[in-house]
Amino acid sequence: MLAAMGLGVSSGGKPLIADIDAAVAPGRLTAILGPNGAGKSTLLACLAGLRVPDAGEVRLDGAPLAGLTPRDRARRIGYLPQDAPLHWNIAVRPLVALGRFPHGDAASATGRAAIDRALAETDLAPVAGRLAGTLSGGERARAMLARVLAGAPDWILADEPLAALDIAHRHAMMDRLRAIAARGVGVIVVLHDLALAARMADDVLLLDSGRLVAAGPVHEVLTPERLGAVFGVDFAYVASGDGEPVLVSAWRGVEGRRP
């Protein structure tokens, strides 16, 4: 269990997040949602142990996360930032091998096996020898995910992993994240695509202006009324071809352009 206890972060006297109490369960795909500036990435960075909160604390399985050494924390929690830079054009395999850094065993049999598994799981084995700078956007996103998977963490925290992907790659990435969660890994993702979150997340933390508005199973949290209040846009669930309800938003902007 990864839990935020009275978490607060401020920057320059302005609170980014405040009084956040939430517990996230392993083996589930949890989406952090909210409008721009709601504090989603700040909350994720705190949960990942990369940002020290000004108030409250993060607990991992009941123990303070801050009590772990950076290496121990890194073995438990993998973090996927939004568009990580690639400062050197290294090959895919050594890029993925960076995920073994907290274990210090990239060259050992255990480490190599973990790297091979991560490459296979993300369908990157055929391009393992290619330079990462030559990958397509979708392949690069997979390589970054493979880097996290190679470390075999109990938790994977990803900040907008879909941001640079087209719709097919978004669905594929969400499928992968679901499969990872199904193995028992706790997956927490910051998302902007509400429809995709409504369809594929198990749980949701909904933020607005640094406050936690609601938390819980996706269909309890993402009601059209609550989303309308938070985002200022009309939402509705409509039936799709396969019978699953799909979350859609209605345009309520310029007169006459309502679809």
Partner 1 sequence: MSRAGKLLLLALGVALAFALSLLAGKVWVPLWGMAAGDPRGLIMMDLRLPRACLALVIGAGLGMSGAALQGYTRNPLADPAILGISSMAALGAVGAIFVGLGGSVETVAAFAMAGAALAVLVLGLLAGRSASAVAFVLAGTVLSSLAGALTALLIALSPNPFAMSSILNWIMGALTDRGWTELRIAAPLVAVGGVLLWARRGALDALTLGEAVARSLGVDLIRLQLVLAAALALIVGGSVAVTGVVGFVGLIVPHMLRPLFGAEPSRLLLPSALGGALLVLVADALVRLVPGAGELRLGVAMALIGAPFFFALLLRYRRDLA
Q: According to CB under 8 A, which residues from 59 to 78 bind partner 1?
A: 69-75, 77-78
Q: Is 102 in the site for partner 1 (CB under 8 A)?
A: yes
CB of 160 to partner 1, least distance (A): 13
| 55 token code pair | 């108030």
Q: How many residues make contact with partner 1 (CB under 8 A)?
A: 31
Question: Near partner 1 by CB under 8 A, which window of 10-18, 86-94, 163-171, 191-199?
Answer: 86-94
Binding mask 42-61 for partner 1 (x = CB under 8 A): ------x-x-----------
How buried is residue 228: exposed, middle or buried, by Cβ count under 10 Å (0-12/13-18/19+)? middle
Cβ closer to partner 1: 110 or 240?
110
d(CA 86, CA 89): 7
**176 to each of 17, 116, 170, 249, how far by Cα in Å?**
29, 17, 10, 26
Bridge partners (DSSP) listed for residue 31: 189, 204
**169 to each of 135, 139, 160, 200, 219, how far by Cα in Å?**
14, 9, 13, 14, 24
Q: Is 120 in the site for partner 1 (CB under 8 A)?
A: no
Q: According to CB under 8 A, which residues from 127 to 166 bind partner 1?
A: 144, 147, 151
User: Do 201 and 31 touch, CB atoms closer than 8 A?
Assistant: yes
Q: Is 89 in the site for partner 1 (CB under 8 A)?
A: yes
d(CA 50, CA 29): 21
Among 15, 81, 224, 228, binds partner 1 (CB under 8 A): 81
Question: Near partner 1 by CB under 8 A, which window of 20-28, 93-101, 223-231, 247-255?
Answer: 93-101
**For 78, phi and psi rounded to 5 degrees?**
-95, 140
Rule CB under 8 A: which residues touch partner 1?
48, 50, 69-75, 77-79, 81, 84-91, 94-95, 98-99, 101-102, 104, 144, 147, 151
